[in-house]
Structures are given as C-alpha cells and as structure tokens.
Chains A and B, each alone.
Chain A
Amino acid sequence: MTTTTQHQAPLAPTTGATVTLAGVIKDYSGQRALNGIDLSIAPGEFIALLGPSGCGKTTALRALSGLERIDGGSIQIDGVDVAETPVNRRDIGMVFQSYSLFPHMTSVQNVEFGLRMRKVPAEQRRSRALEALEMVGLSDKGERFAHQLSGGQQQRVALARALVTRPRVLLLDEPLSALDAKVRVQLRDEIRRIQTDLGITTLFVTHDQEEALAVADRVAVMREGRIEQIGTPEELYLRPSTAFVANFVGLSNRIDAQVVGGMVEFHGERMPLLGADQPDGPVTAFIRPEDVVFAGSGIPATVVASSFLGSLRRTQVRFADDTVISVQHEVASHPQAGESIFVRFTPKPVSAGPRG
C-alpha cells in the first residue's frame, strides 16, 4: 500500500447508526444528573456534548454506552431500544479519558482484543489490528506496551482498538483532556479525519469549547442535566439562544447594559437584542471582542494593556465607570497603556440576560 499522505483509510467505511435519546432521566442518590435529554444523531454525524463539569455530559455518554442505567426516557440505536441490552452487546466503540489500555498487553494485542471477543480467527485478527494501527499512524509501535507510549500515542491505540471492530457508534469521553495542548490539537484533527473517512456516528464529550467548535458537525451545550442549545458551531457562536451559551461558547465581554425599547443600550451605543424579547430594564449583555472597534468617536476609554497573539491583538480598555472589556483587532495598530481612545460596537445583535 503506497502512502502519499500521512494516513489512508484501510478500514472500509461503515454505515453509521441513527441514535436517538428521548427524555432521558438519570438520578444519582437524590440528585438528578440528567433531566430530560432529547438528542437525535443522524448516521455518520459528529456531535459534541459541551458543558462545564457536573453538567451531565459524561453521564449522558455513559448512558448511551450502557455503563450507566437510566431511570426514565428511552435510548434507541437504529430504532431499537437498547435499555435492556448490556454494555457488551451494544456494538459500540468507546475511548476513555485515560488509563484504558490493558497494561499487560502490547498495542497490537490491545487492538486485537475486541476481535478476539468476536471470535475472529488469529490471522485475520492480526492483520486487521495492524491495519487499524496504521490508520492511526502507529504501525511501528505494535509491540510496545502502554507504559512505553506517550499519552497521545496511548489514545491513538485506544482509538484503533475502539474502531477495529467497526462498531455502529463511537463514543469519546474527553479523550484529549489529559494531553498536552499541542498534542491535543493534532489528535483532534486526526480523530475528525478518521471519523469522516469511516462515516461512523460519533458522540464526543468535552469541556473545552474551542475543541467542540473545531471538530463537531453539531454541538449540544449542556447545563445542569439539560441541553441548553444544540446547533452547528456557527449557530452557537453567532446566535446563542441563552446568556449561558453566549458566555460559555467563545470569548465574551460582560457589560452592565440596559434594555430600552427592544434594543440593548450601553453608553450611547445601541445594538439589537438577540433572542426572545425582554422587558426594559438593567441586564448583563455579552459582546464578542471582535465586535468592538476603535474609532474616532464613540465611548471614551483608557487603554489598560495589549496582548500580542500572533495573528491578532487583544487590547483591554477601561471605561469611565471602571468596566474593563477586551477589544480584538489587527496586529498593525498597537495601543499603548494609558492612551485615550474611543471604542464603538458593531451593530450585530447581542445576547443579554438578567443582571448578576
């Protein structure tokens, strides 16, 4: 097999399964971890579950895998209710956050394990396992043990192990959280590429919003056991439906503003209100740094500090009422600390929520 690019897809694509969670409820000793989760995943779709710790995203994933039992609602894979199906019969592949490789087996033996459980004969097992390792770029590390591999390499082996049996659904439980930043970015792109090549339905849990936006077809933001909003990364970023989503996804400046006649008003700047109508009164509004611009006139402010971020700059400015916000702008302009400047807001709609 000639390799012109880094990876090919030696495993034939599978038809991803349809996954439906309807009204799923899960209680943990008095606390409700999942409070009615509704989620439909189309075949081959890559969904990210995003949220702060404790929001229930891992619980939802584990409920789908069968490692947690649900107390209400239904979970269906390809139209079949799987609540009574034990974990080892659901035909899923799962990648855990860490420590999941069997320590006494080599990488190849680890990858072969699922095939061994399915009684695949030894020769076929070995060749398919080697194919899977090649898919993740580790064909030369087959004889290594887990403790001889780096964190990133271990997760790749875990991925190969989960995929070699060609499951209907792939579940990833914060697979990159324990890795270094650089490795994280590299590996998430690879996961996405492999998933696209194979066409396998995938559910990916993370607390890192940048990660979720970068890899997923759709992202579901969760809070306290419910899905706040589900949509494409662009929808979530540009049209957050609640203040929580606006604040959680992407960077936001929080300012104390007023709603006046259906518009958000701050020191003379007026922007349309995003989302449901709100009564007049004080609110906390969320403005993206890239929606704030320096201008010849507008709100007077003093420059606090400016950070160089490679392809852009972010400058912090302070208003007369001591509010500090971040302005994102091109590298060329370099405001100095103490400088007096004016800022204006673009007319894009902004999210607002109750004060405090």
Chain B
Amino acid sequence: MTVATAPEPFPSGAEVQPRRHPGSEPATRPRRSLLKYLGLTPFALYVVLFLGIPTALAVFTGFLTEEGQFTVANILGMFDPLVLRTFASSFWISAVTAVVGAVVGALVCYAMLGTRSEGTLRTVIDSASSVLAQFGGVMLAFAFVATIGSQGLVTVLLKDTFNVNIFENGIWLYQVPGLLLPYIYFQVPLMIITFMPALQGLKVQWAEANATLGGSRFTYWTRIAAPVLAPSFFGSLLLLFANSFSSYATAAALISQGAQIVPLQIRGALISETVLGRENMAGALALGMIVVMVVVMWGYSVLQSRTSRWQR
C-alpha cells in the first residue's frame, strides 16, 4: 500500500456545528425521507459488495478447511516458526523503514519551515512527495535495480572509483535487506506529506513568547516544539509502519520467488497451493495482517486526535 495523501480517521479542529438542514422537517413527509435514504443505497451496496464481503471473506476463510468446515488449523499454522519468521521480517523492515523515514522526513519538513506556502520550493517538494509516495512498487524496483543492481550505476561507480564492492558477501538486493532502500524511498515522502501540516501548526507566537520570556532556540525546541509535535510525529511514524507492513508490489517485483515477508507469504498461498499445504492459509495470514493493521491504525487515530486538540 502506498498512500499519496495523509488520511485522518477523525475530523481534526473544526467540529461540525449542529445545524438545521434543508429537508429535515419532522416526519410529516414520509415519502420524501424514504427517497433520501434511497439515495444512500448505491454507495452502501457498492461498499458492501466490494469492501465488506471481501474483507469478511479474507478474515473468515482462515477459519475454514477446504471443504468448508470450521477449523483452527490455519490459525495455528501461523505459529509455525517459518511463518513467525516472516512476521518478524515484516516487523523488522516496517520498523526500520518507519523510523528512518520519520526522522529524515521530519528533517525535510523542518528545512521547509518558514518558506511561503504557495512558493516554488514548497509546491515542487509537495508535488514530488505526492508522486514519490505513490511511486508504484514495480517502477520503484526497476529504479533500484538500475541504481544498485549488479550492473547498477552506483554499484559500478563504487567498484570502479572507490574499489568498494557492495555485493562482496552476495547480492542482497533481491532479499529482505534489499527492500530497505526502496521502502525508505517512498516512506520519506509519505512522512513529508503527513507531518508537514503538524509542523505548519507550530504558531510563531510560541517561539516569540519563548524568546521574550528569556528562552533560547534550544529551550524552544526541547520544551515547547518537541512536546507539541510528539503526538503527531509518533502518529505519522505509526502510519509509516502500517504503510510499509502492507506494501506488496515492490517486494513482489524484487523477490520473484519466496515468501520472506507476510505479503509475499500471502502471494505464495494464493498462487501455489503447495506452499504450506493449506489453501486457506492466505485467509489466516490476511487475518493476522488485519489484526496488526487495526492495532497500528487505532494507535495512529488516538495520536491524531491528541494533536487536533492542541493545534486549534
């Protein structure tokens, strides 16, 4: 999954004011209100068919055998050391890329403080970030092969100019460590998109008040800016973690065979029936992923609502 813009689970800041609404008269016109509700059905139907049912299927097929009987065998299969290892790899990749992406992204946002919001610098960086955050996995894989593949520009440069062979201990680009750099490539732009509003929300009056009260740049950043930004920073970090954990395309393009991380594990279960000998394994894995995602996104939404409370 790559996210071009940063979603917020709950409306921040302006609350919807209670208002009277055109057509919300008391039930003196039953025909009219029925029509209103009818207007909601296309969307409801669409969402149920293509989101509700697939999600339910994804969650519950893990509990069924091939014949359709209830079983926990698939779920237990997730605790197989091999599967646990893939979850661990997924966690590790997600955590590392989330932290690196968050720190570098925050630095870039800091560097953009004070620039005009409609100015060239800002719009270029915004557009570039939106694009790179969405830079499809396949295309990103190609770019990295061209960069640090065995004949990649950087690989060759390092070998010829500095005598450094980055693949001395084997080519790692097509294994789990090889995912780190490409993932960071879309994590940093995502952080920029997600975190910039928070940094913008720092009121200049706080820095000015800090100065008039005798504080220095250091005290401003440690005592005021950092605590205020913390919920948003960690929220964005969680979003980056979720993004990385659920990402499939880049890994699929770089690692054509094998199931080193959970999404690839799902690929294996869907495509070849012999991976773990259980067809509905994909469902169990999907359930595992959803559990992780729900926990992480819940944490994200909690931190986001914390942010909106302060930065009104």
Q: Do A and B come from one complex?
A: yes
* Residues of A near any B CB (own CB < 8 A): 65-67, 86-90, 92-94, 96, 98-104, 113-114, 117-118, 147, 161-162, 165, 171
Evaluate contact between B209 and A94: CB separation under 8 angstroms: yes
Evaluate contact between B309 and A94: CB separation under 8 angstroms: no
Which residues of chain A are near B203, meaning CB under 8 Å? 99-100
Q: How far is the CA of A273 from the CA of B228 in the complex (A)?
A: 60
Which residues of chain A are near B211, meaning CB under 8 Å? 66-67, 86-88
Which residues of chain A are near B258, meaning CB under 8 Å? none
Q: Is B311 among interface residues, defined by CB-CB distance under 8 A?
A: yes
Nearest Cβ distance between residue A75 and chain B, in whole angstroms?
A: 15
B215's nearest neighbour on chain A, judged by CB, is: A117
The one of A88, A102, A103, A147 in contact with B214, judged by C-beta atoms closer than 8 angstroms, is A88
Nearest Cβ distance between residue B142 and chain A, in whole angstroms?
A: 45
Q: Is B222 among interface residues, defined by CB-CB distance under 8 A?
A: no
Evaluate contact between B215 and A104: CB separation under 8 angstroms: no
Q: How far is the CA of A93 from the CA of B271 in the complex (A)?
A: 70
Evaluate contact between B215 and A88: CB separation under 8 angstroms: yes
Q: Is B208 among interface residues, defined by CB-CB distance under 8 A?
A: yes
A94's nearest neighbour on chain B, judged by CB, is: B212
Evaluate contact between B312 and A96: CB separation under 8 angstroms: no
Interface residues of B in 1-21 (CB under 8 A from A): none
Q: Is B224 among interface residues, defined by CB-CB distance under 8 A?
A: yes
Interface residues of B in 256-312 (CB under 8 A from A): 309-312
Nearest Cβ distance between residue A121 and chain B, in whole angstroms?
A: 16
Nearest Cβ distance between residue B95 and chain A, in whole angstroms?
A: 27
B209's nearest neighbour on chain A, judged by CB, is: A100
Q: How far is the CA of A87 from the CA of B216 in the complex (A)?
A: 9
Q: How far is the CA of A117 from the CA of B223 in the complex (A)?
A: 11
Evaluate contact between A162 and B212: CB separation under 8 angstroms: yes
Q: How far is the CA of A219 from the CA of B9 in the complex (A)?
A: 52
Which residues of chain B are near A162, meaning CB under 8 Å? 212-213
Q: Is B219 among interface residues, defined by CB-CB distance under 8 A?
A: yes
* Residues of B near any A CB (own CB < 8 A): 203, 205-206, 208-216, 219, 223-224, 227-228, 309-312
Nearest Cβ distance between residue B180 and chain A, in whole angstroms?
A: 34
Nearest Cβ distance between residue B14 and chain A, in whole angstroms?
A: 14
A92's nearest neighbour on chain B, judged by CB, is: B212
Contact residues of B: prevailing secondary structure: helix
Evaluate contact between A93 and B212: CB separation under 8 angstroms: yes
Which residues of chain A are near B208, meaning CB under 8 Å? 67, 87, 94, 96, 100
The one of B206, B219, B311, B312 in contact with A117, judged by C-beta atoms closer than 8 angstroms, is B219
Q: How far is the CA of A246 from the CA of B215 in the complex (A)?
A: 43
Q: How far is the CA of A162 from the CA of B311 in the complex (A)?
A: 22
Q: How far is the CA of A165 from the CA of B213 in the complex (A)?
A: 8
B208's nearest neighbour on chain A, judged by CB, is: A67
Which of A94, A101, A102, A165 is most buried by chain B, counting CB atoms within 10 A of its CB?
A: A102
Evaluate contact between B213 and A104: CB separation under 8 angstroms: no
Q: How far is the CA of A99 from the CA of B203 in the complex (A)?
A: 7
The one of A67, A86, A102, A147 in contact with B312, judged by C-beta atoms closer than 8 angstroms, is A147
Which residues of chain A are near B206, meaning CB under 8 Å? 99-100, 102
Evaluate contact between A113 and B213: CB separation under 8 angstroms: yes
Which residues of chain B are near A65, meaning CB under 8 Å? 212
Q: How far is the CA of A102 from the CA of B210 in the complex (A)?
A: 9
- The 29 sampled A-B contact pairs (Cβ below 8 Å) are A87-B208, A87-B212, A88-B212, A88-B215, A88-B216, A89-B214, A92-B212, A93-B212, A94-B209, A96-B208, A99-B203, A100-B206, A100-B209, A101-B209, A102-B206, A103-B310, A103-B311, A113-B210, A113-B213, A114-B214, A117-B213, A117-B214, A117-B215, A117-B219, A147-B310, A147-B312, A162-B213, A165-B213, A165-B214
A119's nearest neighbour on chain B, judged by CB, is: B214
The one of A90, A98, A117 in contact with B205, judged by C-beta atoms closer than 8 angstroms, is A98
Q: How far is the CA of A312 from the CA of B302 in the complex (A)?
A: 57
Q: How far is the CA of A254 from the CA of B54 in the complex (A)?
A: 76
Which residues of chain A are near B219, meaning CB under 8 Å? 117
B306's nearest neighbour on chain A, judged by CB, is: A104
Which residues of chain A are near B310, meaning CB under 8 Å? 103-104, 147
B211's nearest neighbour on chain A, judged by CB, is: A87
Which residues of chain B are near A98, meaning CB under 8 Å? 205
Evaluate contact between A161 and B309: CB separation under 8 angstroms: no
Which of B211, B215, B310 is most buried by chain A, counting CB atoms within 10 A of its CB?
A: B211
Q: How far is the CA of A89 from the CA of B203 in the complex (A)?
A: 22
A111's nearest neighbour on chain B, judged by CB, is: B213
Q: A98-B205, A103-B311 are in contact. Are A113 and B212 (CB under 8 A)?
A: no
Which residues of chain A are near B216, meaning CB under 8 Å? 88
Which of A67, A101, A104, A161 is most buried by chain B, counting CB atoms within 10 A of its CB?
A: A104
Evaluate contact between A100 and B311: CB separation under 8 angstroms: no
A87's nearest neighbour on chain B, judged by CB, is: B211
A112's nearest neighbour on chain B, judged by CB, is: B213
Q: How far is the CA of A57 from the CA of B309 in the complex (A)?
A: 33
Which residues of chain A are near B223, meaning CB under 8 Å? 113
Nearest Cβ distance between residue B277 and chain A, in whole angstroms?
A: 54
Q: How far is the CA of A88 from the CA of B208 in the complex (A)?
A: 9
Which residues of chain A are near B227, meaning CB under 8 Å? 104
Q: How far is the CA of A104 from the CA of B203 in the complex (A)?
A: 13
Q: How far is the CA of A89 from the CA of B311 in the complex (A)?
A: 29
A93's nearest neighbour on chain B, judged by CB, is: B212
Q: How far is the CA of A325 from the CA of B211 in the complex (A)?
A: 50
Nearest Cβ distance between residue A174 and chain B, in whole angstroms?
A: 12
A103's nearest neighbour on chain B, judged by CB, is: B310
Q: How far is the CA of A161 from the CA of B215 in the complex (A)?
A: 13
The one of B209, B215, B228 in contact with A96, judged by C-beta atoms closer than 8 angstroms, is B209
The one of B215, B228, B309 in contact with A113, judged by C-beta atoms closer than 8 angstroms, is B215
